[in-house]
Amino acid sequence: MKRPALRDGLIGLAAFLILAALPLLTTSSALVDFVIRCAALGLFATSLNLLVGYGGMVSFGHGLFFGMGAYSFGIIMQRTGMPIPLAILLTLGVAAIVALAVGAICVRLKEIYFAFVTLAFQMLVHSMIIAWVPVTGGDQGLRGGIPRPSFLGINLADQKQLYLFSAALLVLGLMAMRHIVSSPFGYTLRLVRDNPARAGFLGIDVYRTRLTAFVLAGVFASLGGVLMSLFVSGAYPEFAFWTMSGEAVFIVMLGGTVAFLGPMVGTVLLLLLNDFVTRVAEHHGLVLGTVILLFALGLRKGLLDFVMDWRAARRTRAQAGADRPPGPNTIAGTDKMERVAT
């Protein structure tokens, strides 16, 4: 248990160092902006995958927590001006409480019912944001900018420092989630996903396991929302709209649910596609739609899953080749293999 944690820690540190070194290599502010957005959406999508990939709970209302994070943080900063780390912790606390309340109702439900009730809660919160004008600014969003007072010598009003801060939060967030899925709790969650009846017989509290996963996913999604609100210096009802949840589902489909970093790959892919396509084409929706169709119908899985399967298939084939001449069965067998997050 200790050594994988150490390995993940080292990988995380290396990833952060690489990200921190990036601005030294180029002066492009677009790259800096790109990584900040990747951090926000990457945390959001990876947290959704805690539910979808590891928990088997397909939530269509995950944008609720993303919006919640952006709004809570923005409102706290505008009204109290407390130090940013404290405001972030408070935001995560608010998200956890809301997730606990929503999850307590939703995680009892199965599949399509779960998906629809999470969607309903999201639309409820979205309507509240629109209607509660004195606090949220209604459909105009939280206006006037989010104050970003310096703390510990870090000035988030400076884009470079915001970049380092986002990169650090991204790496820490991913490492924390990685730790969660490789902990005994993570394995319990997978057991509950694969066979809740059996898990129950083994003495596992299925409801509690699901609820814990729901709350954890909500907390990390709200962290993504905090980063997005820092990036745009505001919060808008679109953050809590169903299209935001749709985007996360889209990202998870694009990157894959099996590999832990699948949603992160999906985020980079989607943002690259989005930025590139909107730049050159007027009918970008058509292009993005075609790409997702290719993934859904062509690859039938996310990109990272496809790559991993392909590597596994090659390894099996190489092994089979060493043992005996390759037969058609081996290849067909590996291709058909269903993979789930392990």
Partner 1 sequence: MSKPSLIALNRRGFLAAGAAAAGTVSMPWVAGAQAKVVKVGFPTILSGRVAQLGTSSRNAAQMEVEKVNAAGGLAGRPIELVIRDTKGQPQEAARVARELVNSDGCEMLIDAEASTGAFAVHEVARDLGILCIHTNSETSSLTADPKLRLPNAFRCARQGIHDSVVGGSYAAEIANAKNLTRWATCSPDYAYGRDTTGEFVMYLKRFAPKVEVISEAWPKIFQPDYTESITKLLQAKPQALYSCLWGGDLTSFIDQAAIYALFTQMQFYAVNMADYTALTVVKNLPAGIHSGNRYIKTFPATPQNAAWGDAYRAKYGEYPTNWAWQNGLVINFLAEAAKKANSADGKKMADALRGLTIASPLGADGTVTMRAEDQTIIGYAVGWGTTIPKEPYVPEMKSVPWQRILELEAEWKKDKGFT
Nearest to partner 1 of 29, 342 (CB atom): 29
The dihedral through the CA atoms of 127, 133, 135, 139 has a sign that is positive
User: Would you say 204 or 277 has its CB closer to partner 1?
Assistant: 277
**By the 8 A CB rule, do 226 and 91 touch?**
yes
- Binding stretches for partner 1 (CB under 8 A): 28-30, 33, 37, 130, 133, 138-141, 143-145, 157, 159, 228, 231-234, 236-239, 275, 278-279, 282-285
Give 274 or 334: the residue with its C-beta nearer to partner 1.
274
Sign, Cα dihedral of 247, 164, 183, 70? negative
Distance of closest approach, residue 143 Cβ to partner 1, in angstroms: 5
CB 42 to partner 1: min, Å:
15
Least distance to partner 1, CB of residue 295, Å: 21
Contact 84/92 with Cβ under 8 angstroms? no
151 forms beta bridges with 154
Shortest approach of partner 1 to residue 272 CB, angstroms?
13
For 28, residues 6+ apart whose C-beta sits below 8 A from its C-beta are none
For partner 1, the closer of residues 23 and 55 by Cβ is: 23
If the CB atoms of residues 29 and 80 are measured against partner 1, the closer one turns out to be 29
User: Measuring CA to CA, which residue among 296, 236, 267 is closest to residue 44?
Assistant: 267
Q: How near is the Cβ of 1 to partner 1 at its closest, in Å?
A: 39
Q: How far is the CB of 138 from partner 1 (least distance, A)?
A: 5
- Non-local (6+) Cβ contacts of 289 within 8 A are none
The answer to whether 36 touches 189, Cβ cutoff 8 Å, is: no
- Closer residue to partner 1 in complex, CB, 129/189: 129
Instruction: List, as one string, the DSSP characters of 191-254.
Output: HHHH-HHHHHHTT--HHHHHHHHHHHHHHHHHHHHHHHHHHHTSB-GGGGSHHHHHHHHHHHHH
Min separation Cβ 151 and partner 1, Å: 19
Comparison of 29 and 195: residue with beta carbon closer to partner 1 = 29
